[in-house]
Structure 1
């Protein structure tokens, strides 16, 4: 199998792992932790979200950049990967400057305002369309790369 096909397959897989992690976080964790903040407070025995998100995002971003390099000469692959990069970058910048600092504050707080926590979970869900676009664009790049091998 061609390197670009393997690389786009891995890019799409990692994008969808991130999408799945976001779905799980919202569907399971975000419904419970505003009432029981210790669920997201590692020092109180709660989960450490960074143990998933840092490796997941780092792996995706590294593979995406390698795949962009490998696929740069193939217009459809490049366009889809650039769209994935733009959507992911928008989500990561929003997260870095807004969502993550607030999440860290909730993790460190002795007392958490449930209304503020619920507001955070609702706003966090608004990142879903960007994660979905990232995943769909990565899948489109994989499809385009597979098409290169057919022609």
Structure 2
């Protein structure tokens, strides 16, 4: 059997969500333990990592795929319900990030390395980990949408 457009788009959204989780895990495991004491690691002007170069394209690709999957699956209530749950969890994480995490991350990147408070940076990294459950919930909802779509198609 051939996959439907909705199944393909949901599958690509799952991949994009998994890439986002991988990016978050990279930050948690590799960057976050070190950069509070060495802020230059997250300051592109000092040769550090430019997180924008990953996160902006990653979020744009995911959001476009999710919207396209919603459009393709809109007539299927079981599938669209799961996709709306994925959208809601993603929106909650993005709004929280926009109001709290992104402004602080940009301040850490802009400030001179010696003026960044290691304690403030560590608090930011600890709170940042709280976004992971929202990302995992989003991924679970996408997997449920894919499973529902595949089951309804008889795959």
TM-score interval w.r.t. the shorter chain? over 0.9
* 1:75 and 2:77 correspond: yes
Q: Secondary structure at the match of 2:49?
A: coil
| Residue of structure 1 in register with 2:129 after alignment | 125
Q: Secondary structure at the match of 1:92?
A: helix
| Residue of structure 1 in register with 2:90 after alignment | 88
The alpha carbon displacement at 1:2 in A equals 1.5
Matches of 1:139 and 1:24, distance apart in 2? 22
Task: Give TM-score scaled by structure 2 length.
Answer: 0.95
| Residue of structure 1 in register with 2:65 after alignment | 63
The alpha carbon displacement at 1:148 in A equals 2.1
**TM alignment of 1:16-31, pairs within 5 A:** 16-31=18-33
Matches of 2:28 and 2:96, distance apart in 1? 17
Over residues 34-62 of structure 1, what are the superposed CA-to-partner deviations in whole Å (9 max), with x where a residue is unaligned? 01000000000000000000000000001
Equivalent pairs counted in the alignment come to: 151
| Residue of structure 1 in register with 2:43 after alignment | 41
Matches of 2:78 and 2:30, distance apart in 1? 37
What is the root-mean-square deviation in Å for CA atoms of aligned residues? 1.0
| Residue of structure 2 in register with 1:137 after alignment | 141
Structure 1 stretches lacking a partner, 5+ long: none
Matches of 1:120 and 1:143, distance apart in 2? 36
The answer to whether the 8 A contact 1:7-1:67 is kept is yes
